[in-house]
């Protein structure tokens, strides 16, 4: 029988060595708990409170953790791959080396989180709050896009894909600003199929800017997600940025 702490409150509980696989933790309040190395895959933990908890190396693969609160937790090296983390809060959490591969993170919050060396490959980050700070004026990454219609069409698609708010000239999220524009670098009669420089003749570009405190892993996760959906929709896309080698 799986463990159950659903709807219970146990501040500071030590769960090291406890097998929480498929456990019922719905709305459990476990602030300051110790879950270091705990196996919690497939757990049912919607609304769980693990604020300030230690979860180093914990395994939450495929866990159901909608609206959970991990604020101020230490989850270095934890695995959240394919977990449902919609509206979860990781504010100020330490997530160094944590993995969120193909996790569902729609409307999750990472304000002030340390995501050094974390992995968001294939994660859905639409609507995620990346920072409480203002976005910098410096462009972080430019995407060259072709095959998805005109500027207005691509702007609408990107808005919906990333769940952003449309302004007069830009799309904004918390910690992120995107601008879809004509590609000023495009050459008349340029060969778009040229394997080395064809992208320079793509019709559109997407300029991406982040708040200064948004970690590299989150930047790679957001831009990588956008590149994948552009390709799935039938478009072509090439990135130009300092971390393009980490992008799909």
The whole-angstrom separation of Cα 138 and Cα 141 is 9
The pLDDT of residue 103 is: 97
Give the CATH number of domain 1-124; options: 3.30.420, 2.160.20, 1.10.10, 3.30.1370.
2.160.20
The dihedral region occupied by 37, where left means phi > 0, alpha psi between -120 and 50, and beta the remainder, is: left
- Nearest-angstrom CA–CA distance, 195 and 97: 34
Query: Which residue has better confidence, 194 or 181?
Result: 181
Mean pLDDT of all residues belonging to the chain? 92
Which tokens is 108 given?
């999750």
CA distance 143 to 209: 12
> Can you tell me the mean pLDDT for 186-190?
68
Question: 176's torsion region: left (phi>0), alpha (psi -120 to 50) or beta?
Answer: beta
- Please state, in angstroms and rounded to a whole number, the distance separating the CA atoms of residues 248 and 246: 7
| pLDDT given at position 192 | 78
Whether the pLDDT of residue 4 is over 90: the answer is no
Strands 176-182 and 171-173: antiparallel
Rg (CA), the chain: 20
CB 204 within 8 A of CB 182: yes
| pLDDT for residue 188 | 66
Domains of the chain, by residue range, sit at 1-124, 141-246
Q: Taking 50 as the threshold, does the pLDDT of residue 27 lie above it?
A: yes
Whether 2 shows a pLDDT value over 70: the answer reads no
User: How many Cβ atoms sit within 10 Å of the Cβ of residue 153?
Assistant: 12
Q: Which of 129-138, 143-152, 167-176 has the lowest mean pLDDT?
A: 129-138
Q: What is the per-residue pLDDT across 66-99, written as a single tens digit (0 to 9) for each?
A: 999 999 999 999 999 999 999 999 999 999 999 9
State the CATH class of domain 141-246.
alpha beta
pTM for this prediction? 0.86
Torsion of CA 206, 211, 213, 219, to 10 degrees: -20
Q: How far apart are CA 202 and CA 11, in angstroms?
A: 56
């Amino acid at each position: 029988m799986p463990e159950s702490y659903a709807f219970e409150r146990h501040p500071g509980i030590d769960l090291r060595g406890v097998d929480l696989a498929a456990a019922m933790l719905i709305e459990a309040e476990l602030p300051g708990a110790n879950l270091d190395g705990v196996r919690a895959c497939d757990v049912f933990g919607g609304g769980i409170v693990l604020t300030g908890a230690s979860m180093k190396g914990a395994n939450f693969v495929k866990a159901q953790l909608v609206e959970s609160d991990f604020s101020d937790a230490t989850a270095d090296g934890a695995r959240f791959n394919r977990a449902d983390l919609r509206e979860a809060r990781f504010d100020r959490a330490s997530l160094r080396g944590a993995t969120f591969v193909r996790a569902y993170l729609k409307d999750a919050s990472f304000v002030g989180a340390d995501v050094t060396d974390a992995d968001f490959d294939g994660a859905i980050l639409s609507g995620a709050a990346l920072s409480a700070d203002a976005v910098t004026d410096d462009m972080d990454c430019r995407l060259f896009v072709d095959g998805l219609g005109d500027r207005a069409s691509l702007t609408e698609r990107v808005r919906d894909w990333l769940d952003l708010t449309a302004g007069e000239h830009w799309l904004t999220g918390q910690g992120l600003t995107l601008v879809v524009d004509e590609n000023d670098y495009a050459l008349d009669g340029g060969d778009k199929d040229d394997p080395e420089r064809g992208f320079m003749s793509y019709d559109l570009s997407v300029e991406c800017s982040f708040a200064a405190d948004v970690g590299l892993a989150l930047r790679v996760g957001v831009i990588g997600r956008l590149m994948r959906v552009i390709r799935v929709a039938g478009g072509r896309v090439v990135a130009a940025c300092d971390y393009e080698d980490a992008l799909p």
